[in-house]
């Protein structure tokens, strides 16, 4: 019996497995969707109570933040206008605006070794393999499997996740590699580069998988000197994701050709 199991393991590389996976996940998604609702209601309830407790402080904090953001808004509007006029001088070709598809997370699976999520949007909603999944302020993962009405997201923390990124200030490119911990590592950074703690990390758009400039996280050098990225999103609390369709078939071509990153 163990031999049969091992044989199955050996077949992992077949594309058939992927299709079966998509079908089975499709079939179970409605059930998971219904079952996850009470869980999320309980979670919402707990969140509500927690929020009631620090309502007052939260309000004060938000007021303060609001005044600060208003100033930023003015700056941003000014810069946007300036940017637009400068771009028109250069006849810069702007990128096609990305559209997004919203989906609910219905299963958070994989146990100790795999970081994936199942969401309720599939090929009929326009989800394609390789698209980026965002949650709120940051990148959460990448679509690795698409069924008719469900899709699987490989989170950026998964052992097999590789995402080309760029650091905000130094413009240093790097590869962000998940290692199943909460904070993915940064690879291929020259030793001469001075990394700043707290520097922001964005997708670089290299390899054509993701649009450039999606916020990913913040650099933090850990105790052993290894640079890591603290994701912008709390991956354990995602309830909904936005799947970014940036209207390019380039991503798929890059995936089929170069396999810049690997999924099992």
Write out the residues near other proteins by the rule CB under 8 A: 1-2, 4-9, 11-12, 17, 20-21, 24-25, 28, 31-32, 35-36, 39-40, 43, 47, 105-118, 145, 152, 159, 180-182, 234, 236-239, 264
**How far apart are the C-alpha atoms of 161 and 165, rounded to whole Å?**
12
Cβ pair 170, 222 in contact under 8 A: no
- The pair of structure tokens assigned to 71 is 């100033």
Q: Report the residue number, 39 or 86, with the smaller CB distance to other proteins.
A: 39
C-alpha distances in Å from residue 75, one per residue of 122, 168, 213: 39, 19, 20
Burial group, residue 212, by CB count within 10 angstroms (0-12, 13-18, 19+): middle
Closest approach, Cβ 24 to other proteins, in A, equals 4
Nearer to other proteins, 27 or 62 (CB): 27
When the beta carbons of 13 and 71 are compared against other proteins, the nearer one is 13
DSSP codes of every residue in 38-53:
HHHHHHHHHHHHHHHH
Contact 228, 186 (CB under 8 A): yes
DSSP 94: P
In whole angstroms, the minimum distance from the beta carbon of 155 to other proteins comes to 9
Angle CA(249)–CA(252)–CA(253) in degrees, nearest 5?
85
As measured in angstroms, the least distance from the Cβ of 109 to other proteins is 4
Q: Least CB distance from residue 36 to other proteins, whole Å? A: 5
Minimum CB distance to other proteins, residue 183 (Å): 12
Nearer to other proteins, 119 or 167 (CB): 119
Tell me whether residue 106 or residue 132 sits nearer to other proteins (CB atom): 106
Could you tell me if 242 and 190 are in contact, meaning their C-beta atoms sit under 8 angstroms apart? no
To other proteins, the closest distance from the beta carbon of 69 in angstroms equals 26
Q: Token pair of 251, please?
A: 């991503």
Q: Measured from the CB atom, is 23 or 63 closer to other proteins?
A: 23
């Amino acid at each position: 019996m163990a031999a049969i199991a091992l044989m199955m393991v050996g077949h992992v590389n077949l594309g058939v497995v992927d299709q079966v996976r998509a079908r089975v996940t499709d079939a179970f998604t409605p059930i998971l969707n219904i079952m996850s609702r009470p869980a999320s209601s309980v979670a919402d309830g707990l969140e509500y109570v927690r929020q009631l407790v620090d309502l007052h402080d939260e309000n004060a904090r938000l007021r303060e933040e609001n005044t600060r953001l208003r100033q930023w808004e003015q700056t941003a509007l000014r810069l946007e206008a300036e940017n637009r006029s400068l771009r028109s001088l250069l006849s810069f070709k702007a990128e096609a605006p990305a559209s997004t598809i919203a989906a609910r997370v219905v299963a958070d699976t994989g146990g100790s070794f795999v970081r994936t999520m199942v969401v309720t949007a599939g090929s009929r909603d326009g989800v394609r393999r390789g698209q980026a999944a965002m949650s709120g302020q940051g990148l959460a993962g990448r679509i690795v499997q698409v069924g008719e009405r469900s899709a699987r997201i490989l989170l950026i923390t998964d052992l097999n996740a590789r995402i080309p990124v760029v650091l905000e200030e130094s413009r240093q490119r790097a590869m962000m590699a998940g290692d199943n911990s909460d904070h993915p590592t940064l690879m291929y950074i020259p030793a001469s580069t001075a990394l700043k703690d707290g520097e922001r990390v964005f997708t670089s758009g290299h390899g054509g998988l993701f649009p450039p400039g999606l916020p990913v996280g913040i650099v933090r050098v850990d105790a052993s000197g290894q640079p890591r990225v603290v994701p912008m999103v709390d991956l354990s609390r995602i309830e909904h994701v936005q799947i970014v369709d940036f209207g390019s078939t380039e991503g798929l071509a890059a995936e089929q050709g170069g396999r810049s990153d690997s999924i099992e």
